[in-house]
Amino acid sequence: MRRAPVAAVLCLAVVSSSAARAQDKTAQARTLFNAGAKAYEKGEYLAAAQAFQQAYKLASRPSLIFSTAQAYRRQYIVDKRPEHARIAADYYRRYLKAEPNGKRRSEAVAGLEMLQPALTVEPAADGSEPAPAPEVKAQTWIMITTPEAEAKMSVDGRPFGNLNQEVKPGPHQVVIRAPGYHDEARKLSPTDGQALALDIPLRPKSAQLTIQVESGASISVDGRFVGEAPLARPLDVKAGRHLLSITAPGRAGYSREIRVSRGQKQTVRVDLETTGQRTLSYVLLGGGFIGLAGGGVFSWLALDREGDAQGVLDAQGQGNIGRADQDNYDRARAARDDWRLAAGISFGVGGALGLTGLMLYLFDEPRAPAVTPIDDGADAPKPTKQPTDMEISAAPWFGPGQLGAGLSGRF
C-alpha cells in the first residue's frame, strides 16, 4: 500500500516534466517563427524558410509547412533557381495533404500553378535525361528578434547590421544595440545548418534630468521628494512622462509634466516667482519697522520736551520764574504729552504691522499648482506589432508583366 503514493508522485513528476518540455518546445517554435517572419519581411527568404522548418520540428503545425512553401517560392522569384521552385512545390503539396480543406488551400493551389513552368524540365538536346536540381544545403544562421525596430546586431566585431546573419558553425560573440538601450552581448555557438533564433529584450537606458533652480527649493518627481536644490547629480528617471514639482517658501509653486526619452539628457531651468503673500509680508514688515522707528523718534522728542519743562521748573525754584516762564513750562508739557501720544500710536501701529507681516512671512506655505497633462500627439509611442500565428500568408496576384503578393503573419 505504501508504494501507491510514491508511484502517484512519480507519475505527477513525469507529467509535469513532460508539460514543461512541451511548453519549452512551443516557446522555441514561436521564437523561430517570429525570427522567420522578420526575415521574410526583409526579403531574407532562405533564412525565413530555414527558421520555419526548424519551428515545424518543434511544433508540427500545417501552417508552418505553408509558410515554408511561401518563403521558398519568394526565393525562387528572386533567383530563379529551379531547386527553390521544386522545394516550394513540395511543401505546397505537403500542406495540401496535411490540410485538404485548409484555409490556405486556394493560396497553395495558386502557388503551385505559378511554379508549374519551373517544374517542367525539357529534355536535353542530345535526348539524355536532364540533371536533377541540386539539393539546397541548410545554412547556419544567427537570428535575433527584439521589440525595438531600430535594433542592430554585430557578430565578432563586424559593423552593426541586420538581426539575421549567416555565420560559420561554432562560437561567436554577438552584440545587439539600439538607440536609448543598453547593449546586450551574448556568446552563441550555432551548429552546422542550424538557424539559432533568440528573442532578446533590451534594457532601456534611464533619462538624466538636471534641475536648475534657486538653492533651498524642494524638488519632487511624480509626487516623491528627491531633494533640495542644488542637487548633487542629475536625476535618473525612466523614459516617459513625469510630473516635476518645485516649491520654496515665499515662492509660487511650479508644476510641469515633462516627457523624456531613453538615454536623453534634459535640463529644466525654473525661475520661481515671489508670492503675493510674501510681497505683502515685506510691505507690512517695512511698515512695522517705520512705525517702530517713528515711535522711537517721537519718544526722543517727548523726552526732549520733558527736559525743557524740567528746566523751567528748575529756574522757578531759584526764584527767577515769571509769567512768561510759566507759559513756556505749559507749552513744553503739552508738547511732551503730544509726542508721548504720537509715540504710543506709532509703536502700536508699527508693532501690529510688524507682527502681521511676520505671521504672513512665517506661514507662507509653498504649494504646487495643478498641472494639465501633455496632449498625446505625434510623439506618443506606437505599439510594436508582433506576429500571432505560425503562418506566413502571401497571396499572389498576376498582371501583364507583373507579379506580386500581400504578406501577413500569425503565430
| pLDDT band with cut points at 50, 70 and 90 for residue 212 | very high
Asked if the 25-120+387-411 domain carries CATH number 3.40.190.10, the reply is: no
What's phi and psi for 4, nearest 5 deg? -65, -50
Q: Specify the pTM.
A: 0.61
Cα 53 to Cα 82, 87, 100, 147, 390, distances in angstroms: 19, 12, 20, 23, 11
| pLDDT band with cut points at 50, 70 and 90 for residue 197 | very high
Region 307-318: mean pLDDT is: 71
Residues 6 or more apart in contact with residue 290 via CB below 8 angstroms: 350
Q: Which grid cell is 155?
A: 557578430
pLDDT of 394 higher than 80 = no
CATH topology of domain 141-199: Immunoglobulin-like (2.60.40)
pLDDT of 1 higher than 60 = no
Q: Where are the domains of the chain?
A: 25-120+387-411, 141-199, 209-269, 276-362
CA separation for the pair 101, 27 (Å, rounded): 28
Two domains, one topology: 25-120+387-411 and 141-199: no
CA separation for the pair 267, 228 (Å, rounded): 16
Share above pLDDT 70 across residues of the chain, in percent, rounded to a whole number: 79
CA separation for the pair 33, 85 (Å, rounded): 22
Residue 315 is inside which H or E element, if any? Answer: helix 276-317
Overall size of the chain counted in residues: 411
Using one digit for the tens of pLDDT, what is the confidence trace for 247-269? 888 888 888 898 998 888 889 99
Q: What is the 3-state secondary structure (H, E, C) of 12-39?
A: HHHHHHHHHHHHHHHHHHHHHHHHHHHH
Query: Per mean pLDDT, which range of 168-172, 205-209, 372-376 is the poorest?
Result: 372-376
- Closest among 78, 21, 26 to 48, alpha carbons compared: 78
CA separation for the pair 242, 235 (Å, rounded): 12
